[in-house]
Amino acid sequence: MRPCAQTPVGQGLPQAERTLHNWSIILTKRTVVAEEVGRGRRRVGTNTRPGEAVEHPAPPISRGRLVWVLTAISLAPFSISLLTSAVLPLLTTLPRTTGLSVGTVNLVVSVTILAGTVATPVLGRLADVVGKRPVYLVSLSLVVVGCVLSAATDNFVVLLLGRLLQGPGLAIVPVSMAVVADLVPPRQLRFAISYITVALAIGAVGGLVVGGAIAQLSDDPSLLFWVLTAVSASALAAAWWQVPRSPGIAGGRVDLIGAGLLMVGLGGLLLTLSQGSSWGWSSPAILGCAAAGLAGIAGWVVSAYRLPDPLVDMPAFLSRQMTSLNVSGVCVGATNYALLLAVLAIAAADPATAGYGLGLGLLAGSALLIPGMLAQGATATLVGVIARRSGPFAPTVVGHLVILSGLVLIICWHDSAWALVVGSTVGISGYGLVLPSYPAIIVSIVEPSRWGVANGMNFIVRAVGQTVGATGTGVVVTVATAASVTAIAPLWSYQAALAVCGLGLAVSIPLLLIRPAARAS
């Protein structure tokens, strides 16, 4: 059997549609098609070597059918976004109801991000090997089980276990994009990707409202997790009904060794940071966690150089081209959670006892963040305009400056609801400029065959940054609270956390301005 003609993906499309088509590959690791010579069957995968890809657009479907399909598939990303933001208001009540430190309570957020960081590249690879449907359903099933476990317990350790099981759900977002890219023809991808993006934004805003309302009504977090169970179970049912079966389309292996080493490394360092002030920084337990964490990270790096199919392409990860993006991703991720936690804490603090704050309920405090979430979606539409005029690095640099301005506003001006709204809106809107511009930068500095790998690495460093931001803020607040005569977290602890994140952003800006050489066209 003669091999089919080998043409670049997207060739023959109008320029605008070809650009959109390429962006869909970057953002979703869209599968491409190759024909296995002599076997007569077509193979679809994200790891096709350069030169193997041929165009294989999905057949056109009606707008009504498209909306129906996208609604069913978008329910999973919506539920993941909802459960990610809905737990944030709980971080202000759990220290009081459990008697645990802020650093320990912040593990409710950190363990989910940690699990998602490791699970996303592993499940993405499994989706190529066994097909997207089983990975999609297993990930959502783990989320449902994790929500039930978190809802049915009053033990904090079991709650953390439930949150850990919810972590693989973070892989749903890229897998959902890949499923949509398989189902939707290139000329309808803009609408499809926008539809899922809107679902993510609605979930983020809705999570703050739902989480704030439930936390204000009850100190028991189980009610929130029962609500999240219902939503995630609905998403699982919709996925079972709508996500099509697809064969395993890629060979190779899944780097479980690298995933395990990365989990041990990040987990050990996370426990060291979060529990150091409680267990004692020189205690055997903390020293053991730190040693295990460093050993795990070192083993992960070594294995990435030696294994044929590593979790992360380490030479590319440590290359000069990716260094500035890696530093930026960590700093942006850390700032994200530090900003959210600081605004919620300042809004909820009682000025009569804490000496600062607005004394707002958790629902009202969470509502202060909604304008920022909406502004983030609005500024994301400006990325293309800025990039066309000034290059792909420009939106990222501008976004860093905008986020930094928001941090300064919150640090210096926080004595009213309007002040927090303005500061948080300015800061959060910067993420709308930074996050969508990362793929464009990667396109300009990385070879096409490494686009998917580079975007996966960027996701990992941003997730690590979020973990560092949530955990680091908890550490600063815990240490400051222990030193306070009132046993209440002082205002300067949140200001210090924001200042450290701002310093990291400021340091990363020159690295972005010292641009690596662009790849050859």
Same domain flag for 352 and 278: no
- 22 inside domain: no
> What digits encode the pLDDT tens for the residues 322-347?
888 889 999 998 998 899 889 988 99
- 170 inside domain: yes
- 379 inside domain: yes
Give percent of the chain with pLDDT exceeding 70: 83
Give percent of the chain with pLDDT exceeding 90: 28
Strand, coil or helix: 343: helix
398 to each of 15, 128, 137, 178, 430, how far by Cα in Å? 27, 36, 39, 30, 8
Of the three residues 273, 308, 343, the one that is the final residue of a domain is 308
- Residue 42: which pLDDT band, with cuts at 50, 70 and 90? very low
> What digits encode the pLDDT tens for the residues 55-68?
455 566 666 677 78
Same domain flag for 440 and 297: no
- 41 inside domain: no
The full length of the chain comes to 521
Angle at 397 between CA 395 and CA 403, to 5 degrees: 95
Mean pLDDT over each residue of the chain, to the nearest integer: 80
Of the three residues 289, 308, 327, the one that is the final residue of a domain is 308
Maximum average pLDDT range among 39-53, 154-168, 243-257: 154-168
Same domain flag for 119 and 184: yes
- 34 inside domain: no
What was the pLDDT predicted at 55? 42
Mean pLDDT within 208-234: 90
- Residue 16: which pLDDT band, with cuts at 50, 70 and 90? very low
Mean pLDDT within 239-256: 73
Same domain flag for 95 and 157: yes
Same domain flag for 355 and 484: yes
Mean pLDDT within 274-285: 84
Same domain flag for 517 and 404: yes
Same domain flag for 345 and 229: no
Residue 12 has pLDDT above 80, yes or no: no
Same domain flag for 242 and 336: no
> Directed axis angle between helix 417-434 and helix 370-380, to 10°?
30
Tokens standing for residue 377: 């979606």
* Phi, psi (rounded to 5 degrees) for 280: 100, 125
Could you tell me the residue range of the domain that residue 290 belongs to?
Answer: 255-308
Nearest of 84, 75, 83 to residue 176 by alpha carbon:
75
What was the pLDDT predicted at 471? 83
Looking at the structure of the chain, the number of domains it has is 3
Of the three residues 246, 274, 308, the one that is the final residue of a domain is 308
Same domain flag for 270 and 318: no
- 236 inside domain: yes
Same domain flag for 189 and 321: no
Same domain flag for 276 and 412: no
Same domain flag for 469 and 504: yes
CATH code, domain with 159: 1.20.1250.20
- 49 inside domain: no
> What digits encode the pLDDT tens for the residues 176-190?
877 887 777 777 776
Tokens standing for residue 2: 């003669």
- 370 inside domain: yes
